[in-house]
Structure 1
Amino acid sequence: MSRLVELDATGPRKLDESDLDPEKGDIAVCQCGLSEEFPFCDGSHSCTETEDADTCYRYVEDEMSQQLQTVVRIVYEDGTTEAID
């Protein structure tokens, strides 16, 4: 499976001891791109459990929830397209 993720950061986030969770004692870094606390994991990856391994997805938020959409192709600004297999 793959996933299109929109990010707006322009640089890395450096983690230090202040990032430790006092209750959990660990730092969990998001790898799915869906966390509301990005770059930290908030458990949002649980919604990816039903994703098919051969499909590309995009999660789109509206006022009420996150909607899962299947990505078939990407259209770039210059008009070129890329099919997602």
Structure 2
Amino acid sequence: MAREVTHEERGPAVLDDDDKGDDGLIFVCQCGLSDTKPLCDGSHKATADEEDGVVYKYADDDPDGERREVGELAAEGE
């Protein structure tokens, strides 16, 4: 499984002690759907039933948005 995600940021995110949860850990989003990027907000739960070998796109990169299968990712610049 994979998903196409639109990123608009142009620089790094700086994390510090304020980003730590009650357990002292920092959870970084890897699914690309979090509203609190770069931090995880649990949005990855929407991806639980994605099939291996399929690329998905969520409308507006919203885990509650319509999910569709994408044939292939567009090449950079297209």
- Same fold at TM > 0.5: yes
Q: Which residue of the partner structure matches residue 33 of structure 1? A: 32
Q: TM-score, normalized by length of structure 1?
A: 0.75
Q: TM-score, normalized by length of structure 2?
A: 0.81
Residue 17 of structure 2 aligns with an amino acid whose one-letter code is E
Higher relative contact order, structure no. (Cα contacts within 8 Å, ≥ 6 residues apart): 2
Going by fraction, where is helix more abundant, 1 or 2?
2
Residue 8 of structure 1 aligns with an amino acid whose one-letter code is E
Identity %: 39
* Structure 1 spans left out of the alignment, 5+ residues: 80-85
Q: Which residue of the partner structure matches residue 43 of structure 1? A: 42
> 2:66 is paired with a residue of what secondary structure?
strand
Going by fraction, where is strand more abundant, 1 or 2?
1
Alpha-carbon RMSD:
2.0
Which contiguous aligned blocks of 4+ residues in structure 1 show a shift greater than 6 angstroms? none
Task: For 1:20 and 1:77, locate their aligned partners in 2 and report how far apart those are by CA, in whole Å.
Answer: 35
Residue 10 of structure 2 aligns with an amino acid whose one-letter code is T
Number of residue-to-residue matches in the alignment:
75
> 2:59 is paired with a residue of what secondary structure?
strand
Larger radius of gyration: 1
